Amino acid sequence: MTATPEIVDRDTWLRERAALLTREKAHTREGDAIAAARRRLPMVEVDASVELVGATGATPLHEIFEGRDQLLVCKHMWGRGKGFEDQCRGCSATVWNFQDATYLEARGVTFAIWCQGPYEEFAPYREFMGFQTPWYSVDGIDSPGISDGWITAYLRVGDRIFQTYETDQRGCEAMMPALQLLDMTVYGRQEKWEDSPEGWPQDPTQSWFRRDGRPIPQWTRPGVTPVGTAPSR
């Protein structure tokens, strides 16, 4: 039988919840303070002459802003020559969790995906997944502030472009609200690194990333089949 939390009466539960709420509010305020410090970071200029390959071919960095002053990009790894089912499970989950940039655009921020593979190779994958966000290839690009970072923010000032922020590793969780929702559940993410009570269920294979031979987001696509029973799509 799976372990469960202790059963208590309503008054006891309310007291415990109130104690945790105090910590949660402190966490929120600290997050606000960190965001305030992030807004005060200096910025560094990047090479505005860089061109990335998009749906219309070579695209100058300025054009990727789509007329807005700010640009936010997420990096997507790419396995050259691999089928759709063998592409990065983490990147698949990250991008799938954020597909509508309407609110960002309303606030003057363009959102795009910068993929590490050749455009002609990953374009069919983008179409297969139904992504509407523009994708650009950074394949072969070796330019500070552009070829590094996993979530990166830019500011356009006239003809000059500046990098204002970047994050990697677990910083990419900003793209994955599903993880924050799991953190609110009693069993959490069920990952080994989590501090959970003895007996709590664990998922050592992290099957929420990948199941039955595919990254899980691919199973949402019409007509997708188990690996080995259909073309590598």
* pLDDT reported for residue 211: 86
For the chain, domains (ranges, CATH) are: 44-173 (3.40.30.10)
pLDDT in tens, 158-193: 999 999 999 988 888 999 999 999 999 999 999 888
Residue 7 tokens, joined: 């059963």
How many CB atoms are located within 10 Å of the residue 58 CB? 12
Q: What is the DSSP letter of 129?
A: H
Task: Show the low-confidence residues of the chain (pLDDT under 50).
Answer: 230-232
Distance between terminal CA atoms of the chain?
39
3 state SS of 70: strand
List CB contacts of 62: < 8 A, sequence separation 6 or more.
48, 156, 159, 161
Burial class (CB in 10 A: 0-12, 13-18, 19+), 121: middle
Joined together, the tokens standing for residue 172 give 């990419």
Cβ(45)–Cβ(160) under 8 Å?
yes
N residues, the chain: 233
- Look up the pTM and report it: 0.90
Nearby residues of 223 by Cβ (< 8 Å), 6 or more positions away: none
- What pLDDT, on the 0 to 100 scale, is given for residue 231? 44
- Give SS3 for 135: strand
Angstrom distance (rounded) from CA 149 to CA 154 = 12
